[in-house]
């Protein structure tokens, strides 16, 4: 093995032919050494002085590293330190395992293992066809009734791919998958905060190799037509340079389809202009749709104008997506079951978590046996799902919302690594009717192209039919009900597609029934009802006896097509 001066850039450990280059940022003037470990040993068998420094970067290169060496660390002024840009970690395979970083028990992997990608590549699915599903890698399959062999792992998700395909999902949103320290004052379940951003989490792998098991997950998803998008909530201290390098690495090395980022930390537009990331999806959380729809759902006044805007905006390529429930806040079931948050178990006197959830418990706080309350909650859940999947843009379902998963009123489960945060898969069977409803709703969205058209809706006659591509109605046709007290809205989609795909969606979030005027049915076409909160998704369109108007019961959404 030959020792060379090394290059300061790129920072981290990179292989070029037979040469391994090591570069790390430490305080200028510090005493820095590279420690090499043999396989399975926590004591270094070789210490190499790092003499080359530029600014705060220290580097060394090794030519012809013997295969007996498996891992490395740095020793800075007598302290053993992990490489912040480690590509893989050894010694962190056990979730919440006790480890002393100063002992050498945790080390950075010297070289990443080989992986056969075959002909895999990012999918680049059309944005208007995406159906997203947001999950936590551990919580998704850790529950006792998950029905998988490898609970709480990347492989556990692979075991659930048939379920996701059957549901109609074609994009996964994964909470942080990089290696982070879960043993903090409170368990770091979500994975936010400091982390080894380049290294997939070893504790999320069934065989201890986070690198290859995450690659296997991406490859398996791509084979069945599902994109993989990972959330990367970098800290404010991280430089744009590091962020770009990390995203490029995951795009090239792990074939990920996209990222969810904090736009306050780095320019989304600049990332999209990056030559490596130009075709990679760059997304971010936006609470506008969520909060608007939650308020409309529970019957707040003065919401119709903003609801109309949120439902019909497509914002192609903007990076936003539509959800009414996300990991930060109530699940959908809790949104209709609790007026206030219940985070007492977090140990912070219920002061943590968002205070404004725009939720409504439908008449009883938390669990209840009242049939009227339970029926109203189910009705509201279906309304919420309609709001998400009947809107333009990318719809995103929080894992478990399709079967009424609950976190018992906790809207901030960042530290709850237990049944509170894990999905309760027993509910899939218990609430099978809701699961079927979600499947049918997703299928209906895919069927009617005007609900997710390729082009932005302009409110203009773009098809030379005399009818705008989208228009708003109420109890009177062609008149948007924008009064402060209004809680109803009708949206007519003429769209740019063939005339047979015209749709009218009527929303009544009032606690009394309302009559809606149906847009004129010229050209001999008729209106048919195809879906309703109360009746579900129809297997066969139902011809309306009355073609000029329709009566919607309280808190009901209905979908009509004209053919």
Encoded tokens for 72 = 């490395």
pLDDT tens, residue by residue, 335-380 = 999 999 999 999 999 999 999 999 999 999 999 999 999 999 999 9
CA distance 253 to 249: 6
Output the DSSP codes for 418-487: STTTS--THHHHHTHHHHHHHHHHHHHHHH-GGGG-SSPP-SS--SSSSS-SEEEESSSTT-----TT--
Q: What is the pLDDT of residue 316?
A: 82
Report DSSP state, residue 163.
Answer: H
Q: What percent of the chain has pLDDT over 70?
A: 98
pLDDT tens, residue by residue, 292-313 = 999 999 999 999 999 999 999 9
Torsional class of 393: left (φ above 0), alpha (ψ -120 to 50), beta (otherwise):
left
pLDDT category of residue 100 using cuts at 50, 70 and 90: confident
Q: Are 83 and 13 in contact (CB under 8 A)?
A: yes
Mean pLDDT of all residues in 478-498: 88
**Three-state DSSP state, 177:** coil
Nearest to 85 by CA among 21, 40, 161: 21
**Three-state DSSP state, 378:** helix
Q: How many CB atoms lie within 10 A of CB 340?
A: 13
pLDDT category of residue 29 using cuts at 50, 70 and 90: low
Contacts of 199 (CB under 8 A, 6+ apart): 86, 87, 88, 89, 109, 178, 179, 210, 211
For all residues of the chain together, what is the average pLDDT?
A: 94
Torsion angle of the four alpha carbons 437, 438, 444, 449, in this order, in degrees rounded to the nearest 10: 160
Q: What is the pLDDT of residue 494?
A: 86
Q: How many CB atoms lie within 10 A of CB 254?
A: 20
Residues in the chain: 563
Q: What is the pLDDT of residue 328?
A: 93
Note the helical H segments in 224-284: 240-253, 268-273
3-state percent breakdown (helix, strand, coil) of the chain, nearest 5: 25, 25, 50
Q: What is the pLDDT of residue 266?
A: 95
pLDDT category of residue 521 using cuts at 50, 70 and 90: low
CA distance 502 to 521: 11
Encoded tokens for 430 = 């218990």
Residue with tokens 């380049």: 198
Note the helical H segments in 143-286: 154-159, 161-167, 210-223, 240-253, 268-273
CA distance 520 to 523: 10
CA distance 551 to 511: 14
pLDDT category of residue 205 using cuts at 50, 70 and 90: very high
Q: What is the pLDDT of residue 496?
A: 63
Nearest to 224 by CA among 150, 162, 160, 278: 162
Q: Are 414 and 348 in contact (CB under 8 A)?
A: no
Q: Enter the pTM of the model.
A: 0.96
- Is the predicted pLDDT of residue 463 greater than 80, yes or no? no
Minimum mean pLDDT range among 307-321, 380-394, 415-429: 307-321
Nearest to 283 by CA among 228, 218, 330, 325: 228
CA distance 341 to 357: 8
Q: Are 285 and 326 in contact (CB under 8 A)?
A: yes
Q: What is the pLDDT of residue 530?
A: 97
- Is the predicted pLDDT of residue 104 greater than 90, yes or no? no
Mean pLDDT of all residues in 411-417: 97
Encoded tokens for 141 = 């399959």
The sign of the dihedral angle between the CA atoms of 86, 92, 98, 99 is: negative
pLDDT category of residue 500 using cuts at 50, 70 and 90: low
Q: Are 31 and 49 in contact (CB under 8 A)?
A: no
> Largest Cα–Cα distance of the chain, in whole Å?
86
CA distance 452 to 441: 13
pLDDT category of residue 28 using cuts at 50, 70 and 90: low
- Is the predicted pLDDT of residue 563 greater than 90, yes or no? no
Rg (CA), the chain: 27
pLDDT tens, residue by residue, 223-234 = 999 999 999 999
Mean pLDDT of all residues in 518-537: 89
CA distance 508 to 391: 15
**Three-state DSSP state, 227:** strand
- Is the predicted pLDDT of residue 529 greater than 70, yes or no? yes
Q: How many CA atoms lie within 13 A of 26 on its CB side?
A: 25
Encoded tokens for 274 = 């990056």
pLDDT tens, residue by residue, 136-162 = 999 999 999 999 999 999 999 999 999
Q: What is the pLDDT of residue 524?
A: 80
CA distance 90 to 93: 7
- Is the predicted pLDDT of residue 278 greater than 80, yes or no? yes
CA distance 539 to 444: 10
């Amino acid at each position: 093995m030959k020792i060379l001066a090394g290059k300061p850039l790129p920072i981290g450990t990179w292989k070029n032919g037979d040469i391994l280059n090591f570069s790390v940022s430490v305080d200028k003037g510090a005493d820095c050494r590279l420690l090499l470990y043999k396989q399975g040993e926590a004591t270094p068998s070789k210490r190499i002085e790092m003499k080359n420094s530029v600014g705060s970067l220290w580097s060394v290169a090794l030519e012809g590293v013997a295969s007996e060496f498996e891992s490395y660390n740095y020793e800075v002024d007598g302290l053993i330190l992990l490489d912040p840009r480690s590509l893989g970690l050894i010694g962190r395979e056990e979730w919440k395992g006790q480890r002393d970083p100063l002992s050498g028990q945790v080390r950075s992997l010297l070289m990443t293992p080989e992986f056969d990608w075959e002909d895999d590549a990012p999918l680049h699915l059309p944005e208007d066809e995406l159906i997203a599903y947001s999950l936590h890698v551990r919580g998704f399959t850790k529950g006792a009734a998950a029905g998988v062999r490898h609970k709480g792992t990347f492989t556990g998700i692979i075991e659930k791919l048939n379920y996701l395909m059957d549901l109609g999902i074609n994009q996964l949103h994964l909470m942080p998958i990089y290696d982070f320290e879960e043993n903090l004052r409170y368990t770091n379940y979500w994975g936010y905060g400091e982390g080894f951003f380049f290294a997939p989490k070893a504790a999320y792998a069934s065989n201890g190799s986070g690198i290859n098991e995450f690659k296997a997950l991406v490859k398996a998803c791509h084979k069945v037509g599902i994109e993989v998008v990972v959330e990367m909530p970098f800290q404010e201290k991280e430089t744009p340079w590091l962020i770009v390098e990390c995203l490029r690495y995951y795009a090239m090395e792990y074939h990920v389809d996209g990222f969810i980022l904090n736009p306050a930390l780095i320019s989304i537009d600049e990332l999209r202009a990056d030559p490596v990331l130009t075709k990679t999806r760059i997304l971010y959380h936006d609470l506008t749709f969520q909060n608007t729809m939650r308020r409309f759902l529970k019957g707040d006044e003065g919401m119709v104008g903003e609801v109309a805007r949120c439902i019909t905006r497509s914002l192609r390529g903007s990076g936003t997506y539509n959800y009414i429930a996300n990991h930060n806040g109530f699940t959908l079931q809790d949104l209709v079951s609790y007026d206030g948050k219940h985070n007492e178990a977090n140990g912070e006197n219920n002061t943590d978590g968002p205070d404004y959830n725009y939720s409504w418990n439908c008449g009883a706080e938390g669990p209840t046996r009242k049939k009227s309350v339970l029926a109203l909650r189910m009705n509201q859940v279906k309304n919420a799902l309609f709001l998400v999947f009947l809107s333009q843009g990318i719809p995103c379902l929080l894992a478990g919302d399709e079967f009424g998963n609950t976190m018992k009123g906790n809207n901030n489960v960042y530290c709850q690594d237990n049944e509170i945060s894990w999905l309760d898969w027993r509910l899939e069977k218990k609430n099978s009717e809701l699961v079927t409803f979600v499947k049918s709703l997703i299928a209906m969205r895919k069927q009617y192209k005007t609900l997710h058209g390729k082009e932005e809706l302009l409110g203009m006659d773009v098809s030379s039919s005399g009818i705008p591509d989208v228009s708003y109605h109420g109890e009177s046709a062609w008149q948007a009900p924008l009064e402060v007290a209004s809680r109803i809205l009708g949206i007519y989609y003429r769209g740019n597609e063939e005339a047979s795909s015209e749709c009218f969606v009527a929303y009544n979030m009032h606690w009394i029934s309302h009559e809606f005027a149906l847009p004129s049915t010229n050209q001999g076409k008729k209106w048919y009802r195809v879906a309703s909160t109360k009746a579900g998704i129809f297997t066969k369109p139902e011809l309306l006896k009355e073609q000029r108007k329709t009566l919607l019961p309280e808190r009901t959404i209905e979908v009509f097509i004209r053919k």
